[in-house]
Structure 1
């Protein structure tokens, strides 16, 4: 039996040793032969990185993928600390950053580890438990409201081409047994099997400030996955013809509003000028009526003196006509003439006053009629307040609008009193003129009577005439007193009217200023919006250009000397956060690995 076993061993040695010799001989022959230069169509790089739960870089390695179209020697570049052939057992030679490969015609993979390699993004991850920041190692197994914050930004020490052209997709898998009431801003929550997956997307050239909140029980977290790929999709320009058409309609409407406000501004300017003229004329009228009212007391005193004089003469004639001294009577015609002249001056003043009043009232009426009758609704006021017009100007305009409406309402209510002033002044002026004429007639008659009168024969007739004159003059004096009272009331009342006109003038002046500012504002608004459709198209084109990375040409992450780079992708994972398992005290016995000869001998054991 033993001889039989030895026979099998010798037979195995005879069979195996020649194969080793043949293999060694072939390897020596291959190494001795000259290998031709190979060619590859493209190269892909997949960068794998491992981060701590806080986002600190731990390990980075690159899997290089060649699409070989002609076998032979190929040179690649990269400052790798360790190399691993992932395709076959052929040797990879490295001299500093130069890697020499002998590749067959097919796909070829090899891995290179990078020490101290920086990623294009700075990634910071922080954790809060019930609002308080906590280390991830301390968070494992805890209960409470958990917030995970992820911040991404450009790493200034790395070629910015990746940050400018790559988008980041960050995914978190949350187990329903641990997490509930999941909330996020800017992220998308979706079902991924039994778990909830929260996905964030950070566009090229953008920093990320991301967060997810949830209620956690016995906290643990699977590894976060971060993928970075080129934003290579082409973006088609949207059809905005309908929108630009509406914008054109809007800008045309704004232009019409601007033109309308311009016309309003012109009308308000004319209104303000008219009201200013009315204010000036009203001031002159007020001064005139005040002067007349001031002279009324002197006119009344003179009339009282005449009335007393006539009464005294009449009394004297009645008591002793024979002894009466008629020298004072000769002065009566002169006094009557002076009174008549004073009455004519008063009538002239009233006529001039009436002319000034008529002109002032005409201006006032024209200005008041020019104020539009329409009312601005609350909806229109709210729309004006929420427009782009200056809010301060709008408030002034609304205040002036209210003051103008109030002034027009007051004017409408008192218009009848205004219209009654002209006929009253005309009637009073006519009456005063008639009284002056009567005074002249009396003076002439008295003078004529005194020149041709025989005192002895006509004293009774004179006495009767003077008695009639004294009686009639009392009626005239009563009318004169009523006239002066009316002038006094007119002067007092018109003072309030004039104050209202002055206030109206101030309001229209503010209105003109406000409408002028509004005109400037609407014109500025029109000028700034008339080109809005074209500007909108330019903004959309610029936005598309910013996000359209379809013309991006990939470059190597490892070395600028690498050529024919088809794509570079980043696959980044964080370490998971897990509770510490209790260490087992049982030591597993490790089976000692068996060598070739031991395995060979086992073949022959029973």
Structure 2
């Protein structure tokens, strides 16, 4: 009993000795725990945040899986709260536990970078992406395309998802990349993309600018189709765009503007020349009409002139025959002869005067026409010059009128050069006709005067004898005159018929120059409008470039969170998508191995194994 009590006392003494130290240690531990608890519950501060959104897509572009890697820069350690709608979380930095409640992600973090991943369900992306595959022009499912040969076409369509904040579609550019095995793909074509070598592969890259919906098309010949996943990245177009050097381009535009100004001045000169040409042709037409009317009237009177001359010839022959019997001579016929000759002379002189007036009017009109056409410019404007004008963006209808008017004016000038000799010959022909008529009138006037003088001076039979001889000689020579008159009237008839055609050509020329003047006026109005619109072309081009640059300059863009509008201090947000690969799997070949029939000892061995 005493031994037992002794043991109890010793234990109590040991407890008494140890208890103060234990209490002190417990107190210290409790104090440290309280301090650690206080420190761990302090509120941390997020300095900035980066978000990278990863999405796995099907081969045709449908969303399959999406998750976000968040990178937070912790400025002050402590308890941190981030926001987002997640189906699950994973700490990528350390083993610290993370809590999630009411779209709040809470954890304790030290100063520095902190990474965590959040998986999302049913979260839409800012872009709708669809991918179609065609083989030899026929649409085909990706699973059926694997391993096929032929001409393949991949059509990738990107458009805005209107259910998502438009800030990403409006400020982000997409880069779509495909890696093609050069052993499988040849004759690769991508009109809107760039093709580069990447080892033994070909890298095809497309870029979709902000606010643009595009259809990206890749074509190639393929043997045994296989395709690694298509990679699509979305990054903010926030870099400032440097304005290109457009001095050379503006110099070219200024040269074009000056050329259009010179063209307008030339067209104005051309218009004035055509106007003068048209006025000259109108005067020529009026003079030609007078000449035509006169020559027609002269031709119409030619038959009367020939008939009258025939009567004179017959009268002379009658008188000559009658003078054989002087006692029976009727001198009244002589008086009729003289009067007829006088009337004929008067008619010929009227015709001569009319032709003289016609010649003067023709010379004036022809001089105006010749001067106007000679002053017409004959520029050597090539079809290439007109093609450049068409490509300049000017009014296409005005340029077409300019081209048509130019060709017509050239045709007029060249045609006139070919027929100018005929116009030059008209004045000489008129002068010849006038001279011939004047000679005829003078001869007949002398004849009439001679007849009249003979009648007045007849006083004796001797005089009658002389008259008889003169009349006989006159009758003899008049035949030659009459034959010449017949030839002359025939020539007048031919001249009248020919000149009708010439006059018709002059009328057509007048109509053509009138249309040419109207066209020249319209052309000048068009070139004037073109000149006014292009006179400030370099400045307009610079303004257009500045406006285009401003549309794509997103340097003032401020990033916002894709996960939650509550997240602040957003530094960058990026998107990385990838479609599933299309791979061809060789069908498995199952080999059937026939088992050999086992013998007795083998079966016996199997019983004990």
The answer for the alignment partner of 1:567 in structure 2 is 572
CA contact (8 A) 1:310 1:466 kept: yes
When residues 199 and 337 of structure 1 are mapped into structure 2, their CA distance, relative to the original with a 3 A threshold, is same
Query: Relative to structure 2, which stretch is displaced further, 267-276 or 178-187?
Result: 178-187
Report deviation, 1:266. 0.6
1:435 is aligned to 443
1:59-458 to 2 correspondences below 5 Å: 59-318=65-324, 320-322=325-327, 324-326=328-330, 329-372=331-374, 380-384=382-386, 387-388=389-390, 390-412=399-421, 414-415=422-423, 417-449=425-457, 453-454=459-460, 458=463
Contact 2:78 2:110 in 1 (8 A): yes
CA shift, 1:23, in A, is 11
Report which stretch shifted further, 181-190 or 527-536. 181-190
Alignment pair present for 1:528 and 2:530: no
Question: In structure 1, what is the Cα distance between the partners aligned to 2:202 and 2:263?
Answer: 55
Three-state SS of the structure 1 residue aligned to 2:326 is: coil
Indicate the residue corresponding to 1:10 in structure 2.
none
CA contact (8 A) 1:40 1:68 kept: yes
State how far apart, in whole Å, the 2-side matches of 1:274 and 1:580 are: 90
The separation in 2 between residues aligned to 1:242 and 1:269, in whole angstroms, is 40
Where do 1:416-565 residues align within 5 Å? Answer: 417-449=425-457, 453-454=459-460, 458-565=463-570
- Point out the more displaced range, 372-381 or 516-525: 372-381
Report SS of the residue matched to 2:165: coil
Q: Distance in 2 between matches of 1:477 and 1:129?
A: 99
| Cα distance per residue 1:170-221 (max 9 Å; x no partner) | 2223334544444333333333344333222222222232233344444332
Q: Is the 8 A contact 2:378 2:410 kept in 1?
A: no
- Report the CA distance between 1:119 and its aligned residue: 0.6
Question: Alpha carbons of 1:371 and 1:485: their partners in 2 closer, same or farther (altered >3 Å)?
Answer: same
Q: Structure 1 residue 243: deviation in Å?
A: 2.5
Runs of 5+ consecutive residues of structure 1 not aligned to the other structure: 1-21, 586-606
- Inter-partner Cα distance in structure 1 for 2:75 and 2:432: 118
The 3 A distance-change label for structure 1 pair 62 and 258 is same
Measured in 2, the distance between the counterparts of 1:553 and 1:584 equals 59
Cα shift readout 1:520-555 (whole Å, capped 9, x = no counterpart): 232232222211101110111112112222111101
Q: Which secondary structure state, in structure 2, belongs to the residue aligned with residue 251 of structure 1?
A: helix
Q: Distance in 2 between matches of 1:441 and 1:102?
A: 147
Secondary structure in 1 aligned to 2:170?
helix
Deviation at 1:25, TM superposition (A): 11
Q: Give the Cα–Cα distance (whole angstroms) in 2 for the partners of residues 306 and 435 of structure 1.
A: 14
Asked if 1:40 is matched to 2:49, the reply is: no
Aligned-pair RMSD on alpha carbons? 3.0
Q: Return the alpha-carbon distance in structure 1 between the equivalents of residues 147 and 532 of structure 2.
A: 63
- Per-residue CA deviation, residues 317-364 of structure 1 (Å, 9 max, x unaligned), is 21x333x042xx224224422431332132122212222223213312
**3-state SS of 2:354 partner:** helix
Q: 1:149 to 1:25 in 2, by over 3 A?
A: farther
C-alpha displacement at 1:43, in angstroms? 0.8
Give the TM-score of the pair, scaled to structure 2. 0.84
Q: How far apart are residue 365 of structure 1 and its match?
A: 3.8
**Distance in 2 (alpha carbons) for counterparts of 1:173 and 1:382:** 44
Contact 1:223 / 1:576 at 8 angstroms: preserved in 2?
yes
CA distance in 2, matches of 1:578, 1:381: 56
Deviates more, 1:192-201 or 1:561-570: 192-201
Between stretches 91-100 and 229-238, larger displacement belongs to 91-100
Structure 1 counterpart of 2:18: none
Aligned partners of 1:26, 1:127: CA distance in 2, in Å?
67
Deviation by residue 1:106-156 (Cα, 9 ceiling, x = unmatched): 111122222111111111112223332221222233344433222111111
Size of the aligned set, in residue pairs, is: 556
Q: Could you tell me how far 1:385 is from its partner in structure 2?
A: 5.6
* 2:40 and 2:78 in contact (8 A); partners too: no
Cα deviation for residue 157 of structure 1 reads 1.4
Find the aligned partners of 1:566 and 1:481 in 2 and give their Cα distance: 114
Q: Distance in 2 between matches of 1:507 and 1:404?
A: 12
Contact 2:315 2:337 in 1 (8 A): no
Farther off after superposition, 468-477 or 152-161:
468-477
Aligned-pair distance for 1:584?
13
Displacement after TM superposition at 1:486 (Å): 3.2
Q: Structure 1 residues 27 and 113, CA, compared in 2 at 3 Å: closer, same or farther?
A: farther
Q: 1:441 to 1:544 in 2, by over 3 A?
A: same
Instruction: Measure, in 2, the Cα distance between the counterparts of 1:31 and 1:584.
Output: 65
Give the whole-Å Cα distance in 1 for the aligned partners of 2:116 and 2:411: 84
TM-score, normalised to structure 1, is 0.84
The alignment partner of 2:297 has SS state of helix
